[in-house]
Amino acid sequence: MRFQLRYTKVSIYKFIPLILFFVTLHLVGQTVERDTPPELGKTPSLEVPEVKSFNMDNGLTVYIIEKKDLPIVQFRWTFYGGSHLDPVGKEGLAGFTASMLDEGAAGMDALSIADEIDYLGINISSGSSNESNSFSLFSTSSKLEQALVLSAKVMLQPDFPQRELDRLKKSRLNTLLQRYDQGGPISRVALRKYIFAPEHAYGRTGFGTEESIKSITREDLQKFYSEYYTPENAFLIVVGDINKNDLKSELNKNFSSWKGGKKVEIEVDDQPQVKGLSIVLVDRPGAAQSNIRIGRIGAKRDTDDFFAIQVMNTILGGSFTSRLNQNIREEHGYAYGAGSGFQLRLGKGAFLAASAVQSDVTDKALSEFFNEFRDMRVPVPEGELQRAKNYLALSYPSEFSSIQALSGKVANRVFNDLDEDFFNSYIPNILAVNQTEVETAAKKYVDPQNLVIIIVGDREKIEKGIRDLNLGEIKNVTIEDILGPKPEM
């Protein structure tokens, strides 16, 4: 046996030179094209599973996607409203209401609720945005019955305990205080402040101010909850291992007492467009970086330009290989990244471009932003256009990779009243965008002559360089001018 093994090993080694000779001979006859990338295959299509719907007796509309491949289920309730409905002087109320739901409900304290969630191996979460509030449940199929019992207690019977409210208020004030040392949050607040009017739905703070946070009471939470957390003002998305009949049964069993309310009609007035170049320099002494944020009024979610905007912004600043990132990060090394985007809402949100750059190149980076804005307004090379469309088309299916993501996508479609076929037609619509549409979108939304420019950095180091660019008059302000006086803890 040992002789045979040794003989086999020697035999293989004897043939290695001969094998290498034939491999080399084969490769010599081939030409390897290293400068030309291989052609892309056919773009895969996306088919989202059928969305079924039905109405509950209490007025709640339910949408369900049955997916039996894994024994898990995602519930997502969406409520029309959000932080833009916060009363004047009570900014932050919508966020507090959402955060307080699982801090005590149906006589259970926050720790008891958390223990029950851990025991069942489920997840319960809630949140608030400018235009909506949400409540979500993720559960395995085997624990769904118990999970829905707990979810009904948390969502329908919140106690809003004073002790937990005081704790959250203190935590939020501490976060507000930390923002005075963070260029990113300062620049975000500043851009909103100078693009939108203070009373506009998108100009108000959803986080709150020191005064508004301190003024919020349990009674405020209870009133906001009773007015907006109603079945008539909500819809439910369910995705996962459950069928329509079983879902109806479980909802009737746990949510039959939930009744009343009316749907909030969200109306957002158009804000006047930015005129001219406004430069706001927020002094942050000693800052090693400058936070640059540039913007203007953009578009609504239901704009006819939606697909052209997606492609155009992908080229400008919506991906790692976008022009802004390649210029400011890769070519010049001014920052770790740069990008742009659109806040597409029920009303016209903002177009913005942003980066955090080294202080000593603030002026140079700002100049490059404007170079890219101007270059975006001329026809895009066909190859670059195709790459952007392929990027969007090929990456789109990954946005549906989990039942949580799928429920979020369907919620967004329902909330914005989009066509039922929107998901399945997204890729063909993206691939159909042409050069003229991209150029038109750029000229319409990326106007280098009419922008608000926010720069948060060390004024002593950066002001002269910015002034030498001759972009326009500089308005010097303090952090307190943007965020208000520092909170007293």
Give the domain 52-255 fold: Cytochrome Bc1 Complex; Chain A, domain 1 (3.30.830)
pLDDT digits (tens, 9 = 90+) for 184-197: 999 999 999 999 99
Q: Give the residue among 372, 260, 390 at the shortest CA–CA distance from 323.
A: 372
pLDDT surpasses 90 at 1:
no
Q: What is the pLDDT of residue 46?
A: 79
pLDDT digits (tens, 9 = 90+) for 363-388: 999 999 999 999 999 999 999 999 99
DSSP state, residue 49: P
- Between CA 202 and CA 200 the distance in angstroms is 5
Q: What is the pLDDT of residue 309?
A: 98
pLDDT surpasses 80 at 489:
no
Q: What is the pLDDT of residue 9?
A: 42
Structure tokens at 444: 């319409």
Q: What is the pLDDT of residue 198?
A: 87
**Percentage, residues of the chain above pLDDT 70:** 91
Q: What is the pLDDT of residue 409?
A: 97
pLDDT surpasses 50 at 28:
no
Give the range among 15-29, 111-125, 466-480 with minimum mean pLDDT.
Answer: 15-29
The whole model's pTM is what?
A: 0.88
pLDDT digits (tens, 9 = 90+) for 284-331: 999 999 999 999 999 999 999 999 999 999 999 999 999 999 999 999
> Exposure of 337 by Cβ count < 10 A (0-12 exposed, 13-18 middle, 19+ buried)?
middle
Mean pLDDT (whole number) for 403-412: 96
pLDDT digits (tens, 9 = 90+) for 417-443: 999 999 999 999 999 999 999 999 999
Mean pLDDT (whole number) for 175-190: 96
Taking every pair of Cα atoms in the chain, the longest distance, rounded to a whole number of angstroms, is 92
pLDDT digits (tens, 9 = 90+) for 234-279: 999 999 999 999 999 999 999 999 999 999 999 899 999 999 999 9
pLDDT surpasses 90 at 356:
yes
The answer to whether 453 and 277 are in contact (CB under 8 A) is: yes
Query: Where do the CATH 3.30.830.10 domains begin and end in the chain?
Result: 52-255, 277-483
H helices of 396-489, where? Answer: 403-415, 422-431, 435-445, 459-468, 479-483
Mean pLDDT (whole number) for 169-177: 96
Report the top-level CATH class of 277-483.
Answer: alpha beta
pLDDT class of 48 with cuts at 50, 70, 90 = confident
Residue type, position 209, single letter: T
pLDDT surpasses 70 at 39:
no
Burial track 158-174 (b if 16+ CB lie within 10 A, e otherwise):
bbbbeebbeebbeebbe
The answer to whether 338 and 353 are in contact (CB under 8 A) is: yes
- Between CA 441 and CA 378 the distance in angstroms is 11
Q: What is the pLDDT of residue 488?
A: 85
